[in-house]
Amino acid sequence: MKKIVITAAGILVSLLFQMTGFHFLRVFGVKPDLLLIWVVLVGLLCGGSLSVAAGTVGGLLMDLLTGRFIGLSLATGMLVGWLAGQIANRAFSEHWLVPVGAVGFCTLAGEAFYLFLGTSFGMNWPIWQAVKLVILPTAAYNMFLTVIIWPLARKLFVDRPAYVVWRRG
């Protein structure tokens, strides 16, 4: 129950910051996708089922807040949550490079999926221009912010980190 409450609060806080504060903190013309970062970190710390649910709910809320193409962010959030769960099953998420790499990979996959779905529904985006001007800078920005957010997320979800101490003797 604690993980569900923390996840829901994280979704609301990430949407709040993404729509207000980070809307004006653009780097290279892009703003970070805080919801995607949160969904990936939930997947790494809590598993795939909670991250799929978080991605679905967060994506639906994002679609309702933006009011355009209802379902695109929902499907993208669901895919990102599933990918994060798959990474959590196969990677040792204690090392700080794993969440940074997972967020980078999931950002690339999620943004590419959003671009594909948007193009399928009639949004005319030049693909290579979108990759160069939006997808790659967003992935870099998200990876940078993951270095800051990851320790906080670990403190929220992990009660006490389990360390293995090897002793001689």
Gyration radius of the chain over CA positions? 16
Minimum mean pLDDT among 21-25, 140-144, 162-166: which range?
162-166
Residue 161's pLDDT band, with cuts at 50, 70 and 90, is low
Q: What is the pLDDT of residue 165?
A: 58
Q: What is the pLDDT of residue 159?
A: 73
pTM summary value? 0.86
CATH assignment of the domain containing 13: 1.10.1760.20
Domain boundaries, position 19 = 2-157
Minimum mean pLDDT among 13-17, 105-109, 110-114, 119-123: which range?
119-123
Identify the three-state secondary structure at position 30. Answer: strand
Model confidence at 138: pLDDT above 60? yes
* Residue 169 falls inside a structural domain: no
Please state the domain count of the chain.
Answer: 1
Inter-residue contact 110 to 84 (CB < 8 Å): no
Residue 128's pLDDT band, with cuts at 50, 70 and 90, is confident
Inter-residue contact 63 to 20 (CB < 8 Å): no
* Residue 166 falls inside a structural domain: no
